[in-house]
Amino acid sequence: SQTIHQWPATLVQPVGSPLSLECTVEGTSNPNLYWYRQAAGRGLQLLFYSVGIGQISSEVPQNLSASRPQDRQFILSSKKLLLSDSGFYLCAWSVGGGAKDTQYFGPGTRLTVL
């Protein structure tokens, strides 16, 4: 069966420090991968999605970047964190490439920037 892992589960970082959040998927090949941010009272906002290795689409201009170095690995990064980067970050995957496909979410990483 397929599983999705995210780490770390929680992270507290000072303003201006770098960030690296990792997401890996097991049990499937060539998934579509997504990074979302959930801020209080704002629902889930799609940040990046990827349909294959090295292919990244950015949805929102921001202080973050994403990379997909391997088929089932998706990394969210920042060179210098801002206070506004605090939030709950969710990784998700889907297969099929269609709009009707179910997305499967990871456990999330809660990031607090101080």
Site string for another protein, 11-50 (x = CB under 8 A): ---------------------x---x----xxxxxx--x-
The one-letter amino acid code at 24 reads: T
Tokens standing for residue 101: 């496909």
Pairing verdict, β 109-113 and 10-13 = parallel
Of 9-17, 62-70, 72-80, 99-107, the segment contacting another protein by CB under 8 A is 99-107
Q: Are 32 and 51 in contact (CB under 8 A)?
A: yes
Question: Which residue bears the tokens 């607090």?
Answer: 112
Report the residue number, 19 or 48, with the smaller CB distance to another protein.
48
Q: Please answer whether residues 105 and 7 qualify as being in contact, where contact means their C-beta atoms are separated by less than 8 angstroms.
A: no
Q: Tell the smallest beta-carbon distance from residue 84 to another protein (Å).
A: 18
Binding site for another protein (CB under 8 A): 4, 32, 36, 41-46, 49, 59, 90, 92, 94, 97-108
